Structure 1
Amino acid sequence: MEMEPRAELWRRPDFRHLIAALGISHLGAKIAREALPLTAVLALGAGPLAMSSITIANTLPTILLALHAGALLDRIRRRPMMIWSDLLRCLVLLSVPMAALLDLLSITQLCLVAFLVSAATLAFDIADQAYLPGLVGRGHILKANAAKEATDASTEIVGPPLGGLLVQVIGAPLTILVNALSYLLSAVFLLRIGVRETAPAIATRPDFRREIGDGLRVMWRDSVLRPLLYARFIRTFFGAMLAPFYVLYLVRDLGVSPLVLGVIVATGGAASLIGAAAVPRLATRLPVGPGLILAFAAKTMGLACVPLAGVMLGVSPLLVVPLLILQQCLADGSTGYFAVLERTLRQQRVAPELLGRAGATTRLVNDAPVPFAALLAGVVAERYGIDPVLWIAIAGYALAPVVAFFSAVRRLRSI
């Protein structure tokens, strides 16, 4: 694959505008990530049922709309959809501080906001992944994806602490206003991209059933993308069994203070940034397939450090925090690495006219198992405690590198 010097890619104004748009919107989303649930809790006194309703509303768009969104986005220009998605997210989020100011805020409105923002984000993300190859050229996708992932990791380091400060100073509803404005700025930068996107040459009437089938088949028939999709499902399902208990386990069971928890999470953001930034260099030195398998295994080992810290609590308490930092470094650093490679492989191996549907299929596999896995984990934890759930999740997660190893991924040498 022809590799362009990274500096040359950054000299392209259109690429800088895209990265600026993504960076600003990601930062706004990270700042306000907890603001919507905190608005429900602090402003409306929401209970468990109401909080569950918001979570379900946030998950439903992927389950209901992802495949149809992918088929639609392969019929239209992607950048206008990204702009409209940003503007919709801005307007919908603006309704929260306005309703709070007028004392009209309700759980029903927050559920509707969560659903609409999630649906617009789904459309934006699918369109973005399909749009990138045409903007930078297929020979430069790897470095472009690495830049995007590094930008996202940077916002993970800065956003949550800033968001926590803003919630304390100005309140959760006004923190959501910051997120709304970030989407407006993102739309402005996307509008500044000068390269005119060519409309897909599709003369037939829409047949969503056939077109969705085409997107599923292109992933299923590819000897590399198919096992990677299996591995993604495994990672998503078993990762979703562990995720709901992470903060609870660290704070309640391991006695980690909120300040130390913030430091631990920040190390993960830094590790993700390093992992993403290292991809272009490592991809020329380490075979891509074995690199992916090693990254999946590294994340599994990282996740195992969480219950292992619980074991060490009664043996050597001084090792608890170092193990948790190691967990963040291994898990998030490997994620930054394999996320870039997986996305690049899909964008390189799938025809441009199918990229929307391929991205939608991946998004569905990535998000749909989450509520079911979290529900199963909750039931098991209620009966047997959190520790068994964590070990079950890690044992299941360990199947991801195994599936990739016994497939064509093992023999993949380059993108």
Structure 2
Amino acid sequence: MISLGDPDAVAPAKRDRLGLLRDHDFRDLFLSTTVAQVGYQITSLALPLAAVIALDVSELEVGVLSSMTMIAFVLIGLPAGAWVDRMRRRRVLIVSDIVRAAVLFTVPLAWWADALTIWQLYAVALVIGVFTVFFDVSYQSYLPHLVGREHLVEGNAKLETVRATAQLGGPVLAGQLIQWLTAPVAMAFDAAAMGASALLLLRIRRREPKPQVAHGSRITAEIKDGLRFVLRHRILASIIACTGTWNFWMGAFMAMIVVFLPRDLGMSPGEIGLFFGLFGVGGVFGAFAVGTATRWLGEGRTVWVSVAVTSPWILLIPAAEPGWRIWMGAFAMAFVGVGGVVYNVTQVSFRQRLTPDNLLGRMYATVRFVVFGAYALGGLVGGGLGQLLGARTTLWIAAAGICLA
């Protein structure tokens, strides 16, 4: 596997435009990410639409479901980072994929048996969230080991390109599958994707060293070390504050947009998939533009400029009406996607470089505890506001909050 300290790594002259993709192990991680991200896009749309369309639940219940997907980051986010720093990360990735595949497949089974309820969707969202915590913390902690710190921007950019491309095609595919098969049945495709992702991760050949754990060290002490490192670091603390605020309002926004589009605007699942697919168009552009942006502006300035310039476009979405104004809001999603991807690639690479190896898992866990905890709380607040004020008014409030973040 390529590591810049490895004399047998691919020579710079041979690392043409494919770059890290010439390496077998990174290529397997790249392919695993590709299939998993397509599957994730299916469930991201199918899970809330199963509640809204198949079960016809209230706005508050949709908000609760949205928060359940992220609440695991609050419940176990901090100890997960310390646990991951004690384990081989590839093994955690594989187990997480297998468990999520099994849990996802219970939804179409229950639907075929005419036994699906909102409570099962809550449980599925929670279990998926728990293992996503372990997967995400392990994933970003694993990448520096796999590619070396010198290649982090390239590695993150390539993987972010996959995520952005999945956001482009995944929702469109998801919308069509939901329209043809119903939302619960479409989730079987994500279960299959998770299984394929686990198989690809098993193919990675580079041996991961056994983590070094201080003799007699305690989980609580390690959690405190991670919190102390992040919160006392001026740059990391600023990134967390910005991302947490943005995520709170985005949680409220996303909880209600899946109600607003089918109920207020009368959009079909296929049209909703296309709507979210335009977010991916911006994401793909952002993934390709991030290298140029960081060269022109520097990493630090790119972090804040990326969201300051693109976030105001989100105000066009609650202004949408049936007809052509729907697609005005959809194109606004593309601009938000540009900023979101540029911001994510830059700040993740920035954090990875600022953090020692032995604190990576705890740093990621701390960041996710704050920012995804904020998203979960935002989903609950969005559901409550939607129940009281309606989906459109809630979207206006949340969009204003995103712009001020």
TM-score bracket, shorter-length normalisation: 0.7 to 0.9
**How many pairs are equivalent?**
392
Which of 50, 57, 68 does residue 47 from structure 1 map onto?
57
In structure 2, what is the equivalent of residue 355 of structure 1?
360
For 1:340 and 1:373, the matched residues in 2 are separated by 23
Matched, 1:218 2:229: yes
Residues 1:193 and 1:257: Cα distance change in structure 2 (over 3 Å): closer
In structure 2, what is the equivalent of residue 411 of structure 1?
none
For 2:57 and 2:180, the matched residues in 1 are separated by 24
For 1:287 and 1:202, the matched residues in 2 are separated by 36
For 2:16 and 2:154, the matched residues in 1 are separated by 9
In structure 2, what is the equivalent of residue 273 of structure 1?
284
Given that residues 315 and 396 in structure 2 are in contact (C-alpha distance below 8 angstroms), is that contact kept between their aligned partners in structure 1? yes
Which of 162, 183, 191 does residue 173 from structure 2 map onto?
162
Residues 1:213 and 1:243: Cα distance change in structure 2 (over 3 Å): same
Aligned AA (1:348): R
SS in 2 for 1:238: helix
Given that residues 74 and 373 in structure 2 are in contact (C-alpha distance below 8 angstroms), is that contact kept between their aligned partners in structure 1? yes
Residue 101 of structure 1, CA deviation = 4.6
Given that residues 46 and 187 in structure 2 are in contact (C-alpha distance below 8 angstroms), is that contact kept between their aligned partners in structure 1? yes
Q: TM-score, normalised by structure 1?
A: 0.84
Per-residue CA deviations over 1:327-358 (Å, capped at 9, x if unaligned) read 22321111110100011011111011111111
In structure 2, what is the equivalent of residue 181 of structure 1?
192
Residue 21 of structure 1, CA deviation = 0.5
In structure 2, what is the equivalent of residue 236 of structure 1?
247
In structure 1, what is the equivalent of residue 347 of structure 2?
342
Matched, 1:368 2:378: no
Per-residue CA deviations over 1:29-49 (Å, capped at 9, x if unaligned) read 212333344555666x46337
Superposition map of 1:391-406 within 5 A: 391-400=396-405
Which of 190, 199, 203 does residue 210 from structure 2 map onto?
199
The worse-fitting range, judged by mean Cα deviation, of 273-282 and 66-75 is: 273-282
Residue 384 of structure 1, CA deviation = 5.5
Q: TM-score, normalised by structure 2?
A: 0.86
For 1:100 and 1:295, the matched residues in 2 are separated by 42
Residues 1:79 and 1:305: Cα distance change in structure 2 (over 3 Å): same
Which of 5, 9, 18 does residue 7 from structure 1 map onto?
18
Residues 1:129 and 1:393: Cα distance change in structure 2 (over 3 Å): same
Given that residues 97 and 176 in structure 1 are in contact (C-alpha distance below 8 angstroms), is that contact kept between their aligned partners in structure 2? yes
The worse-fitting range, judged by mean Cα deviation, of 28-37 and 294-303 is: 28-37
Residues 1:305 and 1:218: Cα distance change in structure 2 (over 3 Å): same
Unaligned residue ranges in structure 2 (runs of 5+): 5-11
Residues 1:253 and 1:94: Cα distance change in structure 2 (over 3 Å): closer
The worse-fitting range, judged by mean Cα deviation, of 255-264 and 27-36 is: 255-264
The worse-fitting range, judged by mean Cα deviation, of 46-55 and 117-126 is: 46-55
Given that residues 92 and 135 in structure 2 are in contact (C-alpha distance below 8 angstroms), is that contact kept between their aligned partners in structure 1? yes
Unaligned residue ranges in structure 1 (runs of 5+): 401-415
Residue 190 of structure 1, CA deviation = 0.5
In structure 2, what is the equivalent of residue 327 of structure 1?
332
Q: Percent same amino acid at aligned positions?
A: 33
Aligned AA (1:328): M
Residues 1:394 and 1:214: Cα distance change in structure 2 (over 3 Å): same
Matched, 1:124 2:135: yes
For 1:263 and 1:70, the matched residues in 2 are separated by 36
Given that residues 298 and 330 in structure 1 are in contact (C-alpha distance below 8 angstroms), is that contact kept between their aligned partners in structure 2? no
For 1:395 and 1:41, the matched residues in 2 are separated by 25
Residue 63 of structure 1, CA deviation = 1.4
For 2:166 and 2:261, the matched residues in 1 are separated by 23
Residue 219 of structure 1, CA deviation = 1.1
Superposition map of 1:93-104 within 5 A: 93-101=104-112
For 2:264 and 2:124, the matched residues in 1 are separated by 34
